Every structure is written in structure tokens, then in C-alpha cells.
Structure 1
Amino acid sequence: MVTVTVSSKYQVVIPVAIREELNLHVGQKIQLIPYQDRIEFVPLQDIREMRGFLKGIDTDVPRDGDRV
């Protein structure tokens, strides 16, 4: 766990170890989600980066015999 300090301008610096682990880069959007008594930082991914992430997923859906 890493502790950061909120500046007088309400800014925080994300430590290098976390930036590298999450592969964050300058200008990347991060969604802030308030949850109970904490804030979650969720990096947003460009839709182009997500291309192919469902490759090989089983798309067969069991259907009732009387339905099309």
C-alpha cells in the first residue's frame, strides 16, 4: 500500500511503481469513483486497445426448442 498527499490544489502524484504496474501514460484518462469511504482510480482504456480481448470466447447460447 502506498500513501500519497493531497496538495493545496487537490492534486495527487501517482508513484512510479503504480504507474508502471498499471502502464499509465501522460494524458491518459482516469475515472474517479467514490465508493463508501474511499476513492477508486480506474484507468480508462482506448477502445482500440481493447480490440480482440474477447477473441476465442464461447458465443453459443443455449436456447429453448420453441424459440428462434
Structure 2
Amino acid sequence: MAGIEDKVDKDYASKSAAEIADAPVDALKGVSEGDAQHLKDAFNIKTVRDLGTNKYFLWAQAISKVAE
């Protein structure tokens, strides 16, 4: 889990990667409840896993990598 604990709120710092993946998006440091609601409304993203596997975010990430 090295490196993950500083990317999540302190309540999730000792959780496993699987537990964090299934946590609400606002478990990520810097993502507010309001941000999480916007993600849910726009893309039906409810969990960290949903965010990490969302096709639009993956497409944008791939395009950004190719653009480098």
C-alpha cells in the first residue's frame, strides 16, 4: 500500500486497495462530497473503482499519453 495512503482521506489510509476501490469517490483526498455528487450525476460514478474504470476517463488518459 506504499504511496496510496497519502492519496486518500485518513479514514481510508489503513484500508486495503480493494476496500479503497469500493469506497465512495470522496474517499480520495481533495474530492468533496459535492464533487462526488457531480461525478454521480454526470457519469454514474459512485466508487473509486467506478472512477478508475470509467471509459471516458480512460480514453482521456490514453489520448493524453499519446499526445506526450
TM over 0.5: no
More helix by share: 2
Higher RCO structure, 1 or 2 (CA under 8 Å, sep 6+): 2
* Range of TM-score over shorter length: under 0.3
TM-score for the superposition, normalised by structure 2: 0.25
More strand by share: 1
* Larger Rg belongs to: 1
